[in-house]
Amino acid sequence: MATATLSDEEIRERIKTGKHMLFFTADWCPDCAFIKPVMPQIEAKYDQYDWITVDRDANIEIAQDMGVMGIPSFVGIEDGQEIGRYVDKFRKTQKQVEDFLDTLEK
């Protein structure tokens, strides 16, 4: 997972090629804090993705462009095209996130 905050332009450039999973989050979000401890396990299990943490506040333009208002949320991108999303404002468990990721592999 990228630890430095990327600019909207850096994110757009990075997702043009390859397989990526955008993890939209924010420091103040309690539901994001709930899922963050298991993110390393999820990322390791689904390492076919380049995981990119997107700070919803720092990257509000890309969040708006992608229609991501609720967090935490996940958007899969392959070669610049969206392949799936798990976007809503509700808390997500590790199993729910993994179930979503499994649907993308079918």
What span, in angstroms and rounded, lies between the C-alpha atoms of 101 and 70? Answer: 18
- The topology (CATH level 3) of 8-101 is Glutaredoxin (3.40.30)
Q: 6-10, 22-26, 43-47: which range is least confident on average?
A: 6-10
pTM of this prediction? 0.92
Q: Count CB-CB contacts under 10 A for residue 33.
A: 14
Residue 76 — φ and ψ, nearest 5°? -90, 135
Tokens of 16: 């043009």
H or E element that contains 83: strand 81-86
Specify the DSSP class assigned to residue 38: G
Domain ranges of the chain: 8-101
Q: Is the pLDDT of residue 90 over 80?
A: yes
Mean pLDDT of the chain: 92
pLDDT higher for 26 or 2?
26
With 60 as the cut, is the pLDDT of residue 44 above it? yes
